[in-house]
Amino acid sequence: MILAIVSIGGLLPLFVSGTFIPSIPEIARDMDSTGPVVSLAVSLSILATAFGSLMWSGYSTYYGRRVIYFASLPILVVGSVGVAAARNLPQLLFWRFIQAFGCAGGFPLGSGVIGDIYKLEERGTAMGIFFGASLFGPAIAPLAGGIAAEYSSWRVMQLILGLWGCLEWLLIWALLPETSHPGQRGIDKVPEDERVGIKIINPIAGLGLMRSPNLFFVSIAGSVALLTDFVLLVPLAYTVGVRYNITNSALVGACFIPNGVGNLTGAPLAGRLSDIVVRKWRKRRGGKWVPEDRLRAVWIGGVFLVPLSVAAAGLVTEYVDGTLGLVLILICLFTNGMGVDFVLSPSAAYGVDLIHSRSAEIIAANSALRSLVIAVATAGILPSIEHFGVAATNIGAAVLAWLGYGLIHITIQYGEQFRAWVDVGYSTVRDN
């Protein structure tokens, strides 16, 4: 039940993002603007998610998970109503920031809860289920957003997101217990007579964990893998939609489904595989636990599924016409969605393994760094396609993905030396 509730919370940020992307042409017409300009709202919401995840995770380490859910979700509701009511581009950008900031805690808080309640050899499977359920958003959000834009209004979907935030708040109030271990919260270490006012926490303190080469390399590798998703999805209405004469927003949204189904399929498989790898290598070493063993499950996605799918999609879009081309694109989208999870799911569980006492913060720091990279990169996707073409842009993303896996491989080989070099408070097998 706990895993199901936090997975719904983890689904919200991706749903907020996914319902917006297929509506960009409709919003551009409504605001008398252009697609590339409106797509800045995607980059802005990614930045808001990065900042929000850092802040909410830091406060969850101090106050606990449950109370931070209570604090963040009302901000999502207010932001969603604001987006629905926006009449010009500045208003839209402002309220998108508030909306994304409010739902940003879903992913790090959910990961923290999983770190609280699952043991080491089961954590990858649980994290995979969480990723799979959370990433169900990309499977249905674009279709939902496209249907709303085509048959009603993109504003209706924003109001629905606000209502969803209200329902999630009630669900957490009724069913989610506090999962932080007794005595482990920051507030538990403060005498009761000194618990006055709201504790001021530096929201970017969690980024200090990225001093660790292990965490930094894994985060960068995840960033460039996830970037391939955005290279495929953000311009979809302008690449696949235009190339294959798909003008209906709902049908454009439906083209996102294979990628989301790939996410939904790949995450549990990748998480389960990473647990199997951990147990196998621990047994091979006579019971000794090496955290980097979990990363050995990444190669399937990092070497093959992610880079090959994004490169193939660019070439198909450029050179293959008709129904065959569209079918091949959908296959590439599915493969890419599955492959990205074979990178992200074991990487997230690795971060929780490595710094178990600050699990929400490490996921937030990882997500924030990833979001900053993607926010900058997504702003250049459409201009790159306009200047260099779809194939060249996608092949460039594939090369970055291969370089990212190189960082994973280096971490596997030299992870123990890196941990000895920079110690940011790593966990041991006894406190995991």
DSSP codes of every residue in 276-333: HHHHHHHHHTTT---GGGGGGGGHIIIIIIHHHHHHHHHHHHHH--HHHHHHHHHHHH
Prediction pTM value: 0.83
If residue 254 lies in a helix (H) or strand (E), which one and from where to where?
helix 249-254
Give domain status of residue 300, yes or no: yes
**Which residue's entry shows tokens 């178990």?**
356
Q: In this predicted structure, what is the pLDDT of residue 248? A: 77
CATH number at residue 346: 1.20.1250.20
Q: In this predicted structure, what is the pLDDT of residue 239? A: 85
Give domain status of residue 214, yes or no: yes
Among 218, 228, 155, residue whose Cα is nearest residue 355: 218
Give domain status of residue 192, yes or no: no
Residues 6+ apart with CB under 8 A from 317: 239, 240, 243, 325, 329, 390, 391, 394
Q: In this predicted structure, what is the pLDDT of residue 336? A: 96
Length of the chain, please?
Answer: 432
Write out the two tokens for 50. Answer: 């990065």
Give domain status of residue 169, yes or no: yes
Q: What is the full per-residue pLDDT of the chain (432 aa) written as tens digits? A: 999 999 988 888 878 877 777 677 778 888 887 777 787 777 788 788 888 998 999 899 889 999 999 999 999 999 999 999 988 888 988 999 999 999 999 989 999 999 899 988 899 999 988 988 887 776 677 777 777 777 778 888 899 999 999 999 999 999 999 998 887 788 888 887 777 778 888 878 888 899 999 999 999 999 999 999 989 987 887 788 888 888 776 787 778 789 888 988 898 999 999 999 999 999 999 989 999 999 999 999 999 999 999 999 999 999 998 899 999 999 999 999 999 999 999 999 999 999 887 888 898 898 888 877 877 887 789 889 989 999 999 999 999 999 999 999 999 999 999 999 998 989 888 777
Give start and end residues of each alpha helix (H) in 19-39.
24-30, 35-38
Q: In this predicted structure, what is the pLDDT of residue 121? A: 87
Range of the domain at 405: 2-180+205-424
Rg (CA), the chain: 21
Q: How many domains does the chain have?
A: 1
- Angstrom distance (rounded) from CA 43 to CA 207: 20
Residues 6+ apart with CB under 8 A from 360: 57, 60, 61, 65, 108, 109, 111, 112, 115
Give domain status of residue 190, yes or no: no
Q: In this predicted structure, what is the pLDDT of residue 330? A: 95
- Angstrom distance (rounded) from CA 155 to CA 83: 7
Q: In this predicted structure, what is the pLDDT of residue 139? A: 67
Q: In this predicted structure, what is the pLDDT of residue 135? A: 75
Give domain status of residue 166, yes or no: yes
Give domain status of residue 193, yes or no: no
Among 107, 156, 147, residue whose Cα is nearest residue 127: 107
Give domain status of residue 188, yes or no: no
- Angstrom distance (rounded) from CA 234 to CA 395: 16
